[in-house]
Amino acid sequence: MNQYSKYSPLLKKVFCTGAIATTVVLSMLVPIGVNSVCAALQDSPKNLVDEIWQIVNKEYVDENFNQVDWQATRQKLLGQNYTSKEQAYKAIRKALEPLGDPYTRFLDPKKFQELTSQTSGELSGIGIRLEVNELTQALRVVEPIENSPAHKANIKSGDRVLAIDGQSTKGMSLEQASALIRGEVGTSVTLEISREGTNSFDVKLTRTQIELPSVHYTLKQEAGMLVGYISVDEFSSHAAEQMRKAIKNLNEKNVDAYVLDLRNNPGGLLYASIEIARMWIESGTIVSTIDRVGGKQEYSANRTALSELPLAVLVNGNSASASEILTGALQDNQRAIVIGSPTFGKAVVQSVHSLSDGSGLAVTISRYYPPSGVDINHKGITPDIELNLSSEQKRLFNRKPEWRATKEDPQYQRAISALQNGIFWQGNQGQLVKPISIR
C-alpha cells in the first residue's frame, strides 16, 4: 500500500534530489479531519492553486523568491478562473518557473505516485525485473526479487514472457509490460512463460506489496584479496536496512576491503544517506543544512560504524544529491578514497507535499554542505582519483550493464588497484596520495 494513501492531503517529506532525484526526510503534518473540507478542496482548482502558493510562501529557501513579487503572483493566480484541474496545473507550473529552481516543481497525481513508489522503495506487483532483448526484442526476466510471488513461483532469470493476461508481449515496451503487470494488492495476473528445454506454460500470480532492492552486494576475489562489493541504486526508505544487512553478511565472510558503488545513483531520502554514513564512519560530521533564515542543523556519526576496513567509493556525473552527501562525508572524514568522475553537484534539499487532489509539490527548503563546508552546488565533488570514461566506454556500459564491477570496468579496476596498493583512508590513520587525474 502506498504510504501516503492512509492520510489526507497534508503529508510532507523532505528531499535532496539530483537530476530531479530525491533525498528525503519524512515528517507528517496534522491531517484534515472533515470530509466536507477535503471534498471542497478536491473540487476546487482555485483552492489547489492557493494551497501550493501558501506552501511555497512558507517554505521556499529564498525568502526573496528570486526577486519575484510572490504576493503579486498569488493575486494573479487567484484572479483567474479555472475550468479544470489541468488548467490549474498549467498555471501552477507557469507560476513556479520565475523562481529559477528546477527542483521546486509541481507533480500531477501520476508523477507524484511514481515518486512515492520510488522513495518508499515499494510497489504492488509480482516482483520481477524485466528487460527487452536488443536482438530479439523479446521480453525477458532479468531476475525475480527474493521472496516475491515470482520467486516463490519459481520464475527464473532468462525466462521469456510471451503474454500478460493473454495479451502478446511482441513489440511491447518495458513501460507497457510493467503497466500490465502492476496492479492492486490481492489481484492476480497470468504470465505465459517460455523456458529453454520446456514447452511454454502459464503462471498465475497474486500481486502483493514488494520491497524493491536498492542495495546489491556480492563477494569478489581480486588477486588474493576478498572484496565486498556493494552498489546502491537509490536511497529509498529501505536502503539503510538493506545496507546494514549487506555489511553484516560481508563482514561474516571476512572480507579484506570494500568497494561502494554510487555511480548513476540520483539520490533519495536524506535520512537514508545519513544512516548509511553512520555505518561507515565512527565519529565526525556527516552533513549540515541551512534553511531560509540561516538556521543550521548538523548531522553527525554516532559511534555505530559496522566496519573500519579499507573503503573505495565509485562515483560519476550522475551521482547526485544523497549520493553526494554520503560521498562528501566519507571523503571529508578521511574514511574512503573516492574514484571516478566529478559528481552531479546538487546541494539543496526539498520537502515534498501530498496535495488535496492527489498531486504533489516539491519545494526547495534548505541548502546542504559536506563536513568541509565547501559549497558543491553546480560544482560536484572531485574524486581523489579522477578517472573519466570515454563516450565510447559509456555507450558500451549502457549496452552491457553486466560489465559493471568486472575487468571490463576501468573505474572499478582502479578502485581495486588503489586498495591493493594501500591508497586509501582508514579512520584517521591511513595514508592517501594527493588527488591525481587519469584521462
Residues belonging to the active site: 321, 332, 346
Cα gap 312→336, rounded to integer Å: 5
Residue appearing with cell numbers 555489511: 247
How remote is the C-alpha of 209 from its chain's centroid? 19
Cell of 420: 591493493
How many degrees, rounded to 5, is the angle at CA 4 between CA 245 and CA 126? 55
Residue 267's nearest CA partner among 353, 337, 368 is: 368
Cα gap 215→263, rounded to integer Å: 13
Contact (Cβ atoms closer than 8 angstroms) between residue 367 and residue 321:
no
* Whole-number Cα distances in Å, 256 to 223, 227, 329: 12, 6, 22
Specify the pairing of strand 128-132 against strand 139-144: antiparallel
The number of residues in the chain equals: 439
Cell of 87: 488548467
277-315: burial string, b at 16+ Cβ within 10 Å, e else: bbbbbbeebbbbbbebeeeeeebbbeeebbbebbbbbbb
